[in-house]
């Protein structure tokens, strides 16, 4: 916590370097058990910032802990992690606090391919040997973001591999490490390490939360979020922000339509009241109904929105230094396995796994299994409808208490079935992705997310699609959509924030009451009692589902956009509160985009054309008009198909024409390409001469 | 012509270096008027290969010619082209023969970003300073292809810019060059230079033609084509080759269907004989007709074919060293203009033109104008149909000789109109593309080709689409297609090859009778009497149109593929004969792909799904089946729409799943990226240290 740039006072026993001597044991880099002496000359820093906490199993004996600390402190050349480790209160306690010396941080920055500000003010890929020319490279707490420093520790720990066959000291003989085993994974499996999580910095967190959700400010402090939580989180909130403001045009249009179109008002009354009361056919409707306007607008809007977001993403990624990450060139992720060989790209010896084998596994195992589960969802839905029809029939025939009770059975069974399926599927998806054996963490994440995403989305929309395409009942669809929009959003906000808040405040917090005079260790330990952050999947899928409601079915319920806009304005705050207060700080690697979610939103934007055209075709107004014009069903359908094809064509052309990155980023990227081309030529020559 | 690697004797007075002294003046690098002394030490070569011929205007006086030769010979630092120039017979003749010294060639190779074989056997981007480590870099005639050497001369000439305001010696005062004017363009406009074209090498040409079309070999000597004509031409022939062999599966399927399906046989008889004779409904048809099978197969086949071609393209491009061309980083093309400024990518001073201005010009000028012309095509077609209906009516009413003659008027007028429109459009498209002011030659080419392509394609298919979608007459479509396939191909072959051949043999050749003892200059001059090569546009559009017949309408005429296969087998030979014998050698820049044609084929492959589904819907067999099954028109249409959407989805997924480059190329590319990243870091450090 002893932070150089931290001007505001944070209560608690912190080791202020200015104070000369150190009130807390944790910040004293002097004697054992304390921070280990740093061996490299460049890292002679007085202050050490506690970054990551490692929690050991209860049964771990001091011998094992000493061995582990030694391993963490050992230089990377000798197979260690090159980190700083503090044994907490004493050598017998079950925590280790980790930090990283400057040289380890800088080397990892180069390996990860992060860009930092060069002395000429441009972002350039960081190079360790050239470190003195990067701005602030002498002050790690300014040079790297807090999230980057913590991620680098995880990266180094994950990279620990046994140099030779080894028995873990103080453990049973069964716990041995083979050569090139991933040590951190093995120790986790053996129960030596229970938990590894980054530590919150209360001072910074307070600053962040004040700028983020405590006040009434409209803009989010995205750079600060990136600084504290890392770029994955920052990209989520940037997207949420961008998306929310992009909802303004459809929201305004929706309000206009709801205000001016009598037809829409009537329908909305119906869908809310459930009655057919408003049915008063009075004056002639305009030829182009509000629904059509809304549908065409929302179809084109979604493409413009996605393309503009891509440009925003490129700017943010440049700003946060993640534009040319070098994950492909770094060490493979811990779970990756394969035969040892020379990587043809980097020339390093590491496990290799042929691409075609992975492709084969995906094609022959993953795809059929995912298909099977999607089939099970459909089967479940069909069984549900069949069973419901049967019990309805039964109830009519018998009309007894038993048959009355039976009426609820199909729904209950279906809910149980769906939930079980989802749980099983998540496990299966993880094993499948593990089996696919991806080399990069991001590829693993994207494939896992992709699998779960398809299933979840299918699960969410199966009923709506069934109503729209098979039952062809627009009124029912409108009712469902309205209730989903209002109820699901409310339920989500409650389950996501209110319940964790209450649990935290009234159940967990009393056990965690902090005292100013508590040793630093106890405060760290307390952070471990918070639940781990469940990840951004739930947040993204929520956005995707609402985007689905908006784009797929917007034409039946024009107020969707305004409802979502209002929901998201609170969502931003509640999500921010959640990540800041209710969970442990998560580890997030630096990323350049939102990964597979980007594609999911784009696919949805194209599917929306199909569904909107179909819904317009079903809409009573269009049916009426076609009857007046004496069009046959075929002609009407043909018209809808032509409109659909034209709209898809327009969307494809728009997507192709709007460049994915702003002009200035393209120039910078090309400049980097040009200079690296030049440098490559130069280097070959230098090698030749020397 | 004095070529080092050229073992086979070529008759004619060539300067053999082994002979000691030189029988022809052209190869003597000694005294004026001869090859100028080469000033740089690395180029002390005894042999000079005549590469390019410049033809001057008749009125150009020797003073101007001397000035021009001096300019061409001057080193690049002094604003010259750094080339070798030979004044032909004497200083008063109207030709200049050009060649290039080694250092100019090598520097241009680096500027163009060509890859060559490094000493370790890998392809690497050539670097001038590192030249000694590239294989054969001391022998230009092995190191660079003949096409590359000649293109480099054109590249240097095109890059000539006036260093200061200058009056052209020996010309009127009105002919002055302003600073940074493109000299070669200005001289062309002023009539000083009439023609610049590369010279054929009879020996090599003979070798090439023997390996290419003289024998009965199935495979084309693509590497030799690349060597002699350059990669643009080689890509065309590679594509033609790949496409022809890819026609085998649909051709075999087509033959099977034609053999086994009675329905198809009947229809084909009808379309050829024109009568309804074969109409004998006998035994029951299978449920899935041959047409459906053919259509679904061809829709999926076209995607696989395009994806496999992309992979082949990547391999060829690697093999020919054009995988990472540096056109973006090179000098802009001669016609490019803009305000002088510092290029943010390369840091060089050159004309700059903002991207948004170009986009604006395209959006506000080019797109509307192209749209207007497409509208004129439609208008022409509509007028034609209207006029035809009117004259038919008139003929019925009057029934005289005059009305009989009038019957032909609409067709004649329509043909005249279409041809005039096409001619005007070509001029307009060129001016539009010039006005868009593209920086790179390839961008200019692609935009020009794209414009002409859209128009030509529209012109070709408007009538077929009209028949298919408006008249909805499958029989007429089948008839048209059969006649187009057979007649157009025949006409094409005749106009493209037979006529130029006859003209050449009986009209031009007698004037060009060569004598073994003729001076070298006369032989060069003779090559100037051949017509210039009209470019690959006509060749590609022919392929595109046939691909259109095949993929868009294949389901109505199953024998399309086999007819095209047979046509293409002869097409390969006749095209090869044409480029070798009937035209001057063209200049072609090194390219990495077939540019915009790739996209055109891909777009067609998607449009084919729409048209095939529609044609199947119209087909009598499907109509019959639906009547038997008592389906309404709407249901049938709905089915077709669903099938169409599923097929498009499958195609999109297939295109996404098949990687665009083979694994080994991806690895090599990533390796280059990795090493350049490393080199960039290293270079910054070196700069820092020095």
DSSP string, B86-129: E-TTSTTSSEEEEE--HHHHHHHHHHHT-EEEBTTSSEEE--GG
User: For B129, which of A133, A344, A681 is closest by C-beta distance?
Assistant: A681
By CA distance, what is A126's nearest residue in B?
A: B681
User: For B641, which of A328, A641, A684 is closest by C-beta distance?
Assistant: A641
> How many residues comprise chain A?
690
Which residues fall within 8 angstroms of residue B31, CB to CB, at 6 or more apart? none
Residues of chain B in contact with residue A645, where contact means CB-CB under 8 angstroms, are 610
Interface probe, candidates B131, B360, B676, chain A, greatest A C-beta count within 10 A: B676
Q: Residue B508 — very low, low, confident or very high, per pLDDT cuts 50/70/90?
A: low
Q: Residue B3 — very low, low, confident or very high, per pLDDT cuts 50/70/90?
A: very low
Q: Residue B41: its pLDDT value, please?
A: 46
Partner-chain contact A677 B346, CB within 8 Å: no
A509: left (phi over 0), alpha (psi -120 to 50) or beta: alpha
DSSP string, B572-607: HHHHHHIIIIISPPPP----SS-THHHHHHHHHHHH
Strands ordered across the beta sheet of B193-198 = B84-86, B95-99, B52-56, B193-198
ipTM of the complex as predicted = 0.79
C-alpha closest to that of A219 among A615, A586, A573: A573
Asked if B538 and B496 count as a contact pair (C-beta separation under 8 A), the reply is yes
Q: Residue A9: its pLDDT value, please?
A: 35
Q: Report chain B residues touching chain A, CB-CB < 8 A.
A: 110, 113, 124-125, 127, 129-130, 133, 326, 328-329, 344-346, 355-356, 610, 632-634, 637-638, 641, 645, 663, 667-668, 670-672, 674-686, 688
Partner-chain contact B680 A679, CB within 8 Å: yes
Q: Residue B18: its pLDDT value, please?
A: 38
Q: Which two tokens stand for residue B507?
A: 């009209």
User: Where in A91-236 does DSSP place strands (E)?
Assistant: 95-99, 115-117, 123-125, 166-167, 176-177, 193-198
What 3-state DSSP class applies to B36? coil
User: For B676, which of A356, A671, A676 is closest by C-beta distance?
Assistant: A676
User: Which range, A357-371, B118-132, B616-630, is most confident?
Assistant: A357-371
User: For B685, which of A124, A130, A675 is closest by C-beta distance?
Assistant: A130
Q: Which two tokens stand for residue B78?
A: 């002094």
Partner-chain contact B671 A345, CB within 8 Å: yes
By CA distance, what is A641's nearest residue in B?
A: B641
What's the CA gap between A667 and A656, in Å, rounded?
A: 19
Residues of chain B in contact with residue A663, where contact means CB-CB under 8 angstroms, are 355-356
Partner-chain contact B677 A632, CB within 8 Å: no
Number of H helices, E strands in chain B: 26, 10
Mean pLDDT of chain A: 81
User: Which tens digits make up the pLDDT trace of A313-363?
Assistant: 999 999 998 887 877 777 788 888 888 888 888 878 888 888 889 989 998
User: For A127, which of B129, B638, B685 is closest by C-beta distance?
Assistant: B685
Cα distance from B677 to chain A (closest Cα, Å)? 6
**Whether pLDDT at A155 is above 80:** yes
What 3-state DSSP class applies to B663? helix
* % residues pLDDT > 90 (chain A): 17
Asked if B369 and B421 count as a contact pair (C-beta separation under 8 A), the reply is no
Q: Residue B556 — very low, low, confident or very high, per pLDDT cuts 50/70/90?
A: confident
User: For B676, which of A610, A641, A679 is closest by C-beta distance?
Assistant: A679
Q: Residue B268: its pLDDT value, please?
A: 65
What's the CA gap between A331 and A472, in Å, rounded?
A: 53
Residues of chain A in contact with residue B114, where contact means CB-CB under 8 angstroms, are none
User: Which tens digits make up the pLDDT trace of A198-211?
Assistant: 998 888 888 888 88
What's the CA gap between A524 and A544, in Å, rounded?
A: 36
Cα distance from A129 to chain B (closest Cα, Å)? 7
User: Which range, A215-219, B330-334, B571-575, is most confident?
Assistant: B571-575
Q: Residue B44: its pLDDT value, please?
A: 55
Residues of chain A in contact with residue B667, where contact means CB-CB under 8 angstroms, are 344-345
User: For A680, which of B637, B638, B675 is closest by C-beta distance?
Assistant: B675
Alpha helices by DSSP H, A399-498: 401-406, 409-436, 441-465, 474-483, 489-493
Number of H helices, E strands in chain A: 26, 10
Which residues fall within 8 angstroms of residue A596, CB to CB, at 6 or more apart? A446, A447, A449, A450, A453
Of A128 and A305, which is predicted with more confidence? A305
What's the CA gap between A567 and A569, in Å, rounded?
A: 6
Asked if A230 and A145 count as a contact pair (C-beta separation under 8 A), the reply is yes
Partner-chain contact B677 A125, CB within 8 Å: yes
A257 vs A294, A297, A329, CA distance in Å? 8, 12, 53
Q: Residue B305: its pLDDT value, please?
A: 93
Q: Report chain A residues touching chain B, CB-CB < 8 A.
A: 110, 113, 124-125, 127, 129-130, 133, 326, 328-329, 344-346, 355-356, 610, 632-634, 637-638, 641, 645, 663, 667-668, 670-672, 674-686, 688
Q: Which two tokens stand for residue A580?
A: 């800041």
Query: Mean pLDDT across the stretch B345-355?
Result: 83
User: For A677, which of B133, B634, B676 is closest by C-beta distance?
Assistant: B676
What 3-state DSSP class applies to A587? coil
What's the CA gap between B220 and B234, in Å, rounded?
A: 10
Residues of chain B in contact with residue A355, where contact means CB-CB under 8 angstroms, are 663
DSSP A44: -
Cα distance from B500 to chain A (closest Cα, Å)? 41
Partner-chain contact B682 A680, CB within 8 Å: no
Q: Residue A263 — very low, low, confident or very high, per pLDDT cuts 50/70/90?
A: low
User: Which tens digits make up the pLDDT trace of A60-95?
Assistant: 888 888 888 888 888 888 888 888 888 876 666 788
What 3-state DSSP class applies to B194? strand
DSSP A137: T
By CA distance, what is B325's nearest residue in A?
A: A677
- In the numeric block, the tokens 């500000």 are attached to A117
Helix H or strand E segment including B457: helix B441-465
Residues of chain B in contact with residue A113, where contact means CB-CB under 8 angstroms, are 677
What's the CA gap between A258 and B196, in Å, rounded?
A: 69
User: Which tens digits make up the pLDDT trace of A547-606?
Assistant: 988 888 877 778 888 888 988 888 888 888 888 888 889 999 899 888 899 999 999 999
| Burial bucket for residue A127 (CB in 10 Å: 0-12, 13-18, 19+) | buried
By CA distance, what is A124's nearest residue in B?
A: B681
Cα distance from A359 to chain B (closest Cα, Å)? 9
C-alpha closest to that of B196 among B442, B504, B532, B590: B532
What's the CA gap between A572 and A219, in Å, rounded?
A: 10
User: Which tens digits make up the pLDDT trace of B146-204?
Assistant: 999 999 999 999 888 888 887 888 777 777 888 778 888 888 888 888 889 999 888 88
User: Which tens digits make up the pLDDT trace of A653-686?
Assistant: 889 888 888 888 888 888 877 877 777 767 666 6
Residues of chain B in contact with residue A366, where contact means CB-CB under 8 angstroms, are none
What's the CA gap between B685 and A133, in Å, rounded?
A: 9
User: Which tens digits make up the pLDDT trace of B29-83?
Assistant: 444 446 655 445 455 555 678 889 898 888 888 888 888 888 888 888 888 888 8
User: For B683, which of A638, A667, A682 is closest by C-beta distance?
Assistant: A682
Q: Which two tokens stand for residue A446?
A: 């994207």
Partner-chain contact A676 B672, CB within 8 Å: no
What's the CA gap between B233 and B148, in Å, rounded?
A: 12
User: Which tens digits make up the pLDDT trace of B278-314?
Assistant: 444 445 555 567 778 888 888 889 999 999 999 999 9
User: For B677, which of A344, A632, A676 is closest by C-beta distance?
Assistant: A676
Partner-chain contact B127 A685, CB within 8 Å: yes
Q: How many CB pairs under 8 A join A and B?
A: 121
Cα distance from A656 to chain B (closest Cα, Å)? 12
User: For B679, which of A113, A672, A682 is closest by C-beta distance?
Assistant: A682
Tell me phi and psi for residue B375, to 5 degrees: -60, -40
Partner-chain contact A637 B634, CB within 8 Å: yes
Residues of chain B in contact with residue A648, where contact means CB-CB under 8 angstroms, are none
User: Which tens digits make up the pLDDT trace of A614-653?
Assistant: 888 887 777 777 788 777 777 888 888 888 999 999 999 8
Tell me phi and psi for residue B424, to 5 degrees: -60, -40
User: Which tens digits make up the pLDDT trace of A418-457?
Assistant: 888 988 999 999 999 999 999 888 889 899 999 998 998 8
| Burial bucket for residue B401 (CB in 10 Å: 0-12, 13-18, 19+) | exposed
Asked if A255 and A562 count as a contact pair (C-beta separation under 8 A), the reply is yes
Exposure of B146 in the CB half-sphere (CA atoms within 13 A): 28
Exposure of B82 in the CB half-sphere (CA atoms within 13 A): 20
What's the CA gap between A558 and A297, in Å, rounded?
A: 11
Say how many C-beta atoms besides its own lie within 10 A of residue A21's C-beta: 8
What's the CA gap between A185 and A168, in Å, rounded?
A: 13
By CA distance, what is B634's nearest residue in A?
A: A634
Q: Which two tokens stand for residue B153?
A: 């001369």
């Amino acid at each position: 916590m002893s932070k150089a740039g931290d001007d505001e006072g944070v209560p608690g026993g912190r080791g202020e370097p200015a104070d000369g001597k150190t009130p807390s044991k944790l910040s004293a880099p002097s004697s054992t058990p304390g921070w280990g002496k740093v061996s490299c000359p460049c890292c002679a820093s007085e202050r050490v910032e506690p970054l990551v906490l490692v929690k050991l199993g209860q049964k771990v004996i001091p011998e094992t802990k000493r061995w582990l600390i030694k391993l963490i402190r050992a230089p990377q050349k000798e197979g260690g992690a090159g980190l700083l480790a503090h044994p907490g209160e004493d050598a017998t306690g079950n925590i280790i606090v980790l930090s990283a010396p400057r040289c380890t941080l800088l080397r990892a920055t180069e390996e990860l391919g992060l860009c930092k500000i060069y002395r000429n003010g441009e972002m350039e890929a960081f190079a360790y040997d050239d470190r003195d020319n990067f701005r602030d490279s002498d002050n790690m707490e300014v040079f790297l973001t807090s999230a980057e420093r913590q991620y680098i520790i995880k990266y180094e720990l994950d990279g620990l591999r046994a140099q030779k066959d080894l028995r873990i000291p103080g453990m049973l003989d069964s716990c041995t490490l083979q050569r090139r085993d991933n040590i951190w994974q093995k120790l986790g499996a053996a129960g030596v390490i229970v938990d590894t999580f980054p530590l919150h910095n209360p001072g910074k967190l307070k600053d962040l939360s004040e700028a983020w959700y405590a006040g009434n400010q409209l803009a989010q402090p995205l750079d600060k979020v990136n600084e504290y939580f890392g770029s994955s989180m920052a990209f989520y909130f940037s997207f949420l922000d961008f998306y929310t403001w992009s909802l303004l045009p459809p929201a305004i249009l929706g309000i206009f339509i709801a205000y001016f179109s009598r037809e829409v008002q009537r329908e909305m009354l119906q869908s809310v009241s459930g009655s057919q009361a408003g049915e008063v056919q009075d004056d002639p409707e305009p030829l182009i109904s509000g629904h059509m306007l809304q549908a065409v607008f929302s179809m084109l809007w979604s493409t413009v929105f996605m393309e503009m977001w891509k440009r925003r993403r490129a700017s943010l990624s440049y700003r946060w230094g993640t534009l040319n990450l070098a994950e492909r060139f770094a060490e493979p992720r811990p779970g990756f396995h394969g035969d040892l060989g020379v990587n043809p790209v980097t020339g390093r010896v590491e496990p290799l796994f042929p691409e075609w084998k992975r492709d084969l596994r995906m094609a022959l195992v993953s795809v059929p299994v995912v298909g099977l589960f999607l089939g099970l969802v459909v089967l479940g839905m069909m069984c549900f409808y069949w069973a419901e029809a049967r019990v309805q029939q039964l109830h009519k025939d018998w009309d007894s208490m038993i048959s009355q009770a039976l009426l609820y059975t199909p729904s209950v069974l279906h809910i149980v079935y769906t939930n079980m399926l989802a749980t099983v599927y998540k496990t299966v998806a993880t094993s499948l992705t593990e089996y696919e054996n991806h080399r990069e963490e991001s590829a693993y994440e994207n494939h896992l997310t992709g699998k779960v995403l398809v299933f979840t989305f299918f699960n969410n929309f199966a009923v709506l699609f069934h109503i729209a395409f098979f039952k062809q009942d627009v009124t029912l669809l409108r009712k469902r959509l309205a209730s989903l929009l209002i109820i699901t959003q409310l339920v989500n906000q409650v389950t996501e924030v209110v319940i964790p808040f209450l649990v935290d405040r009234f159940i967990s917090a009393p056990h965690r009451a902090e005292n100013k005079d508590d040793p630093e260790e106890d405060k760290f330990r307390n952070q471990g009692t918070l639940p781990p952050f469940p990840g951004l999947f739930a947040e993204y899928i929520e956005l995707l589902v609402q985007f689905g409601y908006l784009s797929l079915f917007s034409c039946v319920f024009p107020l969707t956009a305004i409802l979502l806009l209002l929901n998201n304005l609170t969502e931003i705050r509640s999500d921010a509160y959640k990540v800041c207060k209710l969970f442990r700080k998560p580890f997030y690697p630096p990323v350049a985009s939102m990964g597979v979610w980007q594609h999911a939103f784009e696919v949805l934007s194209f599917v929306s054309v199909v569904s909107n055209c179909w819904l317009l075709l079903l809409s009573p107004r269009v049916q009426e008009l076609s009857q007046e014009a004496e069009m046959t069903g075929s002609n009407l359908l043909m018209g809808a198909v032509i409109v659909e094809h034209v709209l898809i064509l327009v969307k494809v052309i728009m997507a192709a024409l709007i460049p994915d990155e702003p002009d200035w980023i393209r120039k910078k990227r090309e400049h980097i390409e040009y200079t690296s081309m030049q440098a490559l030529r130069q280097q070959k020559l230098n090698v030749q001469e020397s």
